[in-house]
Amino acid sequence: MAKITVSTLKKMKEEGRKIAALTAYDASFSQLFQDNGIHVLLVGDSLGMVLQGGTDTLGVTNQDIAYHTRCVRAGAKDTFVIADMPFMTYSTVTDTCKHAAELMRAGANMVKLEGGEWLYDSIKALTIQGIPVCGHLGLTPQSVHVFGGFKIQGRENEQANKMVQDAQALERAGAQLLVLECIPSALAERITQSVSIPTIGIGAGKLTDGQILVMHDLVGISAGYIPKFSKNFLLETGNMPAAVKKYLDDVTSGAFPGTEHEFN
């Protein structure tokens, strides 16, 4: 496959072509995902739960993400790799730049930060210094204790309006991609139409510019709980390469997610 860049992703949005993304944490799976056409790989702090066995993502360190980013890059030379910035690694502009640089040196093409307009100065500073940024709105797992659990966000008008404003502020600051997690599909559509940068949804309906799943959910091996917005593609196909290809085909065709995977 041709090398994927931020320009590729922006062009896909402009042309109405869906972006297919998965989390990845090692070289073997990242190569499998690249070989089967996945456009974007996220080295997510979800590793704190699916790899380390934690109940949330807060224990993940920048060193953890950097290590797994190097592993993913080793297996996927041409795929676009985003690295999550862990809990409290971007509380100040200085810390943000320092920790983001470590992840870029490890092989990331972009870093992802959770939060809204309060990140404006940090995103602007990263962009000025040549570090591409992905924003993350909706259910932001690093704020799970503020939310009181993993709960759907944006159902109230005030919160929904604020999320639209946050998305626009992140774009103005220089963000080039936006993840929308566990929000009503109508709000995801509204945000997608309100910004010129691509949006990638997870539990946000089918009207975003792309989709992402945690790879363990894709194959039905997440311990004890499979989210409503996920689908076990391995059960349907019988082998890993076919499952990944089926996911890619269903995302790009618009068949996934279906109405049963979205929130109203």
User: Would you name the residues annotated as active-site residues?
Assistant: 181
C-alpha distances in angstroms, 235 versus 148, 217, 220, 240, 247? Answer: 33, 11, 8, 10, 12
14 is in an annotated binding site: no
Token duo for residue 217: 């959910």
189 is in an annotated binding site: no
> Which residues lie closer than 8 Å to 199 by C-beta, 6 or more apart?
167, 177, 178, 179, 180, 188, 191, 192, 208, 209, 210
171 is in an annotated binding site: no
SS3 134: strand
246 is in an annotated binding site: no
Which amino acid, residue 103? L
Q: What whole-number distance in Å separates Cα of residue 217 and Cα of residue 159? A: 28
Q: What whole-number distance in Å separates Cα of residue 49 and Cα of residue 84? A: 14
CA angle 95, 58, 175 (to 5 degrees): 50
112 is in an annotated binding site: yes
- Which residue positions form the known binding site for Mg(2+)? 45, 84, 114
- Which residue positions form the known binding site? 45-46, 84, 112, 114
